Chain A
Amino acid sequence: MSSKAAQKQAAPDSPQRVLTGRQFMLGDHACAEGALAAGLDFFAGYPITPSTEVAEHLASRLPAVGGRFVQMEDELGSIAAIIGASAAGARSFTATSGPGFSLMMENIGLAAMMELPCVIVNVQRASPSTGLPTMVGQSDILQARWGSHGDYGIVAYCPSSPQECFELTIDAFNTADRYRIPVFILMDEVVGHMAERVEIPEAKDIPHVPRKGPRTAPGTGQFLPYAADADLVPPIAHAGDGYKVHMTGLTHDERGYPSLTAETHDKLVHRLVDKVRLNAADIVDFEEQDVDDADCVIVAYGCTARSATAAVTQARAEGLRCGLLRPKTIWPFPEARVRRLLEIGKVKRFIVPEINLGQMRREIERLTQLPTLRLNHAGGAMPTPNAILEIIRS
């Protein structure tokens, strides 16, 4: 059944939140369906190529299943609106690309500081600036990690197929709520605009991780909105719940009140970073192909990993001991796995093909002294399997 037919079936008289079954759909649409399956309540966005299909799809699908869709005046408004909706308890979401992502950076810091969960998909195009709006890029990897001013923790997923656009979007919502952080889905134009089979499970089989709520009744004055549990994540009370919370982007104490001291600041920022850093083992997700005996490991993500998969398959057929490490969470980076590979000692070199000038290669170089070969394109084209294969053979 095509996604169009499925949509028709799901149209207003019989709204269906989870399109269970075998679908054939665009990566952008699969991402939108993942959000719906995850229980999306509120979307605010601004049109931008190549992410617009996410918004368009939700404009018809989301209101039909009881959610709210708002087209905002700009991306500054989009991100502020989804953070506000999150404060009122919504699972909230926006979709953008590089220029819009840049505009969202200040309030991504606000979401991190207020600890209001939200999900942002960036369907990457060739950048900087307006760049190549309709053509592929992967050059927002470091911006996703460090783009807003200051230190804070985030998680970023990197799907390589429409199926993963669906699945990792669900993971993104659960991770955002679990750790009270902004979570990114770093798609790219190729994956976003590619149509493939997407298997959607039954609604009861969609994983759902709820936010931790207060453990004291409202009105008792006992609830401290920023008193964290052992996992460094504080329970959350929403607007209208009766807890009379105060949230601010200023440095704040456990009551949520501004506390403009170096001591409070140091403690707060360490916690914001540590709740991702110290929980990384639970968050990190990756897949491997033929890594166990490999002396050459390719590290690739997004559409680039598809070429890398083909290259590794061909290399193996030629008897070359080559493997692929594919981070599905690019942040936190699968650092422990790379360190383990180094300890095992079979790997002699890494190859990092990317559609940027070496943003993830920097991570590999940081972790290892081994030769790290590059294959970079600034954007508009993706590395072919043959180009990767040539480096493997070299």
Chain B
Amino acid sequence: MSTPQPNDFSVVHPIDHLMRADRLPHILCAGCGIGTVIHAYVRAIDESGTDPDQHVCVSGIGCSGRAAGYVNVDSYHSTHGRALPFALGIAVHNPSLTVTVISGDGDLMAIGGNHFIHAARRNVNLNVICINNFNYGMTGGQVGPTTPIGAKGTTAPQGSIEHPFNLPYLAKACGASFVARWTILHVRQFTDAILRSMDKDGFCFTEVLSPCPTSFGRRNKLGEGLDEVEMYRERCHIENGAENLQDLDIDIVDHEQPITVGNFVDIERTAFHA
């Protein structure tokens, strides 16, 4: 394969057809991990060999909620917290569609938490990607339901005093058929987790840790986006099939603590088909 010349515009990026290039430039900050998540999602569509017309992307509100606006499939940017029931309506009415929800930790787990536990309990045929950046980025860095104890936000200037959700543990307890946690460093494994979710019937959940240098990283001495990814490289250890999900809390203050990632749950459980 010959190397494309710099001025050769006949060569297109292999995922161009899955992106809304006419929406660029995007709104995301330098060092943000959401773009990597979007890339992994469209890469998974591409690698799945399925018809992009049969894919639907639904999101809620927040920086992560903007993901639906950049992907070139039928896409719906719904209201804060309601991406899951909106997606349920699509998936239940037309079961031939592959419906993926991409949204943030605040959207899916705080304001949308009730829908999350019930969608997992029902085992609705949805692929859910929760971009966890530990805070409300779009509104400027408030703490949320996944902010680790001790981490700072504008609404917890001395550090959060609340216990955060451990998302894989929560998803498994609620009945999800597939549960994974990766970071945006682990693009290959993360893309494979999305591919597995697209292929699998039932509620599939992947948490992906993602830097928010603008609103979270700088307040918590995590440096730039790249520095946080470097932290993932140093601290993450892969434990596919990990049994001890209750021990998977993330410590953002003590950098000696490992962060466990992997595909944790992949079970057969009757999916919801109304």
Give A contacts to B, CB under 8 Å: 41-42, 44, 63, 68-70, 72-74, 76-78, 80-90, 92, 106-107, 110, 114, 218, 238-250, 255, 257-258
3 nearest CB pairs, A to B: A84-B89, A85-B89, A80-B85
Which chain A positions have C-beta within 8 A of B74?
87, 238-241, 243-246
- Listed by A's residue number, 6 A-B pairs whose Cβ atoms lie within 8 Å are A70-B88, A88-B89, A106-B79, A107-B78, A110-B82, A246-B69
Which chain A positions have C-beta within 8 A of B181?
none
CA A117 to CA B53, docked complex, whole Å: 22
Whether B75 pairs with A81 at a CB distance below 8 angstroms is no
Give B contacts to A, CB under 8 Å: 20, 22-23, 52-54, 56, 58, 68-69, 72-79, 81-82, 84-90, 92-94, 96-97, 114-115, 118, 274
Q: A84-B86, A84-B88, A248-B77 are in contact. Are A77 and B118 (CB under 8 A)?
A: yes
Q: A80-B79, A244-B74 are in contact. Are A87 and B90 (CB under 8 A)?
A: yes
Whether A70 pairs with B274 at a CB distance below 8 angstroms is yes
CA A275 to CA B97, docked complex, whole Å: 32
Whether B54 pairs with A240 at a CB distance below 8 angstroms is yes
CA A88 to CA B54, docked complex, whole Å: 11
Min Cβ gap A129→B in Å is: 21
Which chain B positions have C-beta within 8 A of A78?
85
Which chain B positions have C-beta within 8 A of A82?
89
* Most chain A CB atoms below 10 A, which of B54, B78, B87: B78
Q: A68-B93, A76-B82, A245-B75 are in contact. Are A84 and B69 (CB under 8 A)?
A: no
Min Cβ gap A110→B in Å is: 5
* Most chain A CB atoms below 10 A, which of B68, B74, B81: B74
Whether B53 pairs with A84 at a CB distance below 8 angstroms is no
Which chain A positions have C-beta within 8 A of B22?
255, 257
Whether A258 pairs with B72 at a CB distance below 8 angstroms is no
Whether A249 pairs with B86 at a CB distance below 8 angstroms is no
* Most chain A CB atoms below 10 A, which of B22, B72, B97, B274: B274
Which chain A positions have C-beta within 8 A of B85?
44, 72, 76-78, 80-81, 84
**Which of these, B54, B79, B274, contacts A107 with CB under 8 Å?**
B79
CA A70 to CA B95, docked complex, whole Å: 14
CA A242 to CA B56, docked complex, whole Å: 11
Whether B92 pairs with A257 at a CB distance below 8 angstroms is no
Min Cβ gap A280→B in Å is: 28
Q: A72-B85, A247-B77 are in contact. Are A88 and B114 (CB under 8 A)?
A: no
**Which of these, B81, B88, B96, contacts A81 with CB under 8 Å?**
B88
Which chain B positions have C-beta within 8 A of A70?
88, 92, 274
Q: Which residue of B lies closest to A110 (CB)?
A: B79
Whether B274 pairs with A239 at a CB distance below 8 angstroms is no
- Beyond contacts A81-B92, A248-B69, A248-B76: 12 other A-B pairs, Cβ-Cβ < 8 A, are A69-B274, A77-B82, A77-B85, A81-B89, A84-B89, A85-B92, A87-B90, A110-B82, A239-B76, A239-B94, A244-B53, A246-B76
